[in-house]
Structure 1
Amino acid sequence: MTDKPLSGRKAQAARNDKLILEAAHEVFVNDPEAPIAEVAKRAGVGISALYRRYPSKEDLLRKLAGDGLRRYMELAREAVESEAEPWEAFRTFMRAVVVADTPSITVRLAGTFTPSPDMFQAAMEGDALNKAMLARFKSAGVLREDVENGDLQMVTESVSSITIGDAERTREARLRILELHLQALRAPGAAPLPGSPVTDEEMGARWIPKGVKE
């Protein structure tokens, strides 16, 4: 059974929403303090059309971050269920996360808005997926034993902070640097890692809005 095509107005609304979210990613990853009007301008839609869909900047940020989290979870689930050779499955996952640019949302937007309860629930599900993924690749002997979820998060966030030239050059540079990190992540590892990994609690604390005490 195929989905029915959207009517004229609904199709236009769907196109506008796609344009708004793409523009919001570009605008807010570059400058989290940018006004919502800048998103409408970048998307080429009227400010009234944007406000009909997202009544406030916080609503738009929650949608953007929520979509990024769901995309990350899709990629993690694919990695857990992949029938590919384990190292290639892990490498494919890490590359896909960098290409999807979901870590940029965390780096730039964490702490700038109040996450919804649904986002916290999704984050818990994501943690479970991460643990399953780490267990799979460690048991397969391809991922070094002293690597934890926080390490992978820091690697992808670090790589996603790279901006060189245009979008294509940035993508090329990010994947090159990621490959260097991947060689360090592969078992058995040249030497033990110093210190302790970033914990789930430390990563979660970043999403508490700035100025709000726990």
Structure 2
Amino acid sequence: MPKTSKIPAQKALPGRKAQAARNDGLILDAARAVFLADPNAPIAAVAERAGVGISALYRRYPSKEDLLRTLCHQGLRRYNAEAEAALEDSDGWHGLVGFLERVVDADVHSLTVHLAGTFTPDESMLPDVMRSGQLAEELVRRAHASGRLRPDVNTLDVGLILEAGTAISMPDPQRTAQLRRRVLALLIAGLTVEGELPGPPPEAGEFAWRWQRPQ
């Protein structure tokens, strides 16, 4: 069984800082909803959905690009946290499966699919980008070592599985979650069967083009 990490209790923030933290959470939640629905939406739509003044939003995020970058960085950190939790599982196969389930439930890869190319990543994201690759490599290595994961699956194949779930979107969020889990279960079953997969596996850097903003 994976270990459960204990998060230390945080001290209560003073009034203004507490309000700023609440506003930031509202802004990021609103930005996720707005920009996943329409990456070209104006930043004013985020302020309206969050119920904060546009000036309060601009104090925290001077531009739409800053907001998009923060939103995607937040998703990347969630990905890394779930991967680190999965590596605490002594069973490499169960660790990988649990990781896939939690990341699909968190809908992390919708950010990648919908927002790649809408902003320019900066150096602040690089350590977490590098870390995500290392964690994914270790998850796949351990799953291979368990004897359950088919040998011709690589780390980028796992990324494709996660992205596949983002194609499922229903008017009812609960139904969306159910169908995404159903498809994930079918894909996970395919990770263990014998026989050759069509075409070569994805290569390192093959998907980097989408993070380049169009000129």
SS at match of 1:81: coil
Gaps of 5+ in 2: 1-7
Partner of 1:81: 88
Change (3 A) 1:37 1:86: same
Counterpart selection for 1:105 from 99, 108, 111:
111
Q: Deviations over 1:54-101 (max 9, x none)?
A: 000000011001111111011111212223x43332221101010111
Matches within 5 A, 1:114-153: 114-153=120-159
Are positions 1:13 and 2:28 aligned together? no
Aligned CA RMSD, in angstroms, stands at 1.4
What is the letter of the counterpart of residue 90 of structure 1? L
SS in 2 for 1:180: helix
Aligned to 2:176: 170
Aligned residue in 1 for 2:197: 193
Structure 2 CA distance for aligned equivalents of residues 111 and 44 of structure 1 = 27
Residue 62 in structure 1 maps to residue 66 in structure 2: no
Shift of 1:28: 0.7
Give the partner amino acid of 1:15. R
Give the direction of change, closer, same or farther, for the CA distance of 1:162–1:2 in structure 2 (3 Å limit): closer
- Provide the aligned length of Structure 1 versus Structure 2: 208
In the alignment, structure 1 segments of 5+ residues that lack a partner are: none
Deviation at 1:5, TM superposition (A): 0.8
Which of 18, 36, 59 pairs up with 1:52?
Answer: 59
* Counterparts of 2:191 and 2:25, CA distance in 1: 36
Q: Deviations over 1:11-68 (max 9, x none)?
A: 1111111111011111111111110011111111111111111000000011001111
Q: Distance in 1 between matches of 2:40 and 2:24?
A: 21
Shift of 1:2: 4.4
Report the alpha carbon displacement of residue 4 of structure 1 after superposing the two structures with TM. 2.2
* Structure 2 residue aligned with 1:202: 206
Residues 150 and 203 in structure 1, CA contact (< 8 A), matched pair in contact too: no
Q: How far apart, CA to CA, are the structure 1 residues paired with 2:125 and 2:203?
A: 19
Q: Residue 204 of structure 1: CA displacement?
A: 2.1
Structure 2 Cα separation of the partners of residues 125 and 90 of structure 1: 16
Q: 1:18 to 1:102 in 2, by over 3 A?
A: same
**Deviation of residue 172 (structure 1)?**
1.0
Give 2:204's aligned amino acid.
D
Task: Indicate conservation of the 8 Å contact 1:32/1:112, yes or no.
Answer: yes
Letter of the aligned partner of 2:121 in structure 1? Answer: P
What amino acid does structure 1 have at the position aligned with 2:111? I
Percent of counterpart pairs with the same letter? 48
Q: Which is worse superposed, 96-105 or 124-133?
A: 124-133
User: What SS is found at the alignment partner of 1:126?
Assistant: helix
Structure 2 counterpart of 1:197, which letter?
P
